[in-house]
Amino acid sequence: MKYCTECLVPDTKPHAVFDARGVCSTCEAHRLKNQWLTGIDWKARASEFGAAVQEAKTDGKPSGGSRS
């Protein structure tokens, strides 16, 4: 029986595929996902999201003044 060198999943798991290093396709997909996520500027994304929320809250409302 063969096991993944990173997570120890056995080759008896349905659809288990191992590369030349003995790493399963699930571990490889996880590595690629994390590699992609590290390239995201989360602070900038949060700022953009906050601006979009603020714009949605004020869209169509009169700017300034009192509420009546």
Token pair 């906050």 is at which residue? 50
Mean pLDDT confidence for 29-48: 88
d(CA 30, CA 26) in angstroms, rounded, equals 6
Size of the chain in residues: 68
Domain assignment of residue 68, yes or no:
no
CB count in 10 Å sphere of residue 24: 24
Mean pLDDT confidence for 41-54: 92
- Number of domains observed in the structure of the chain: 1
Domain assignment of residue 23, yes or no:
yes
Confidence class for position 67, pLDDT limits 50, 70, 90: low
Domain assignment of residue 33, yes or no:
yes
Give me the chain's average pLDDT, please.
86
Show the domain range for 43. 1-59
pLDDT of 42 > 90? The answer is: no
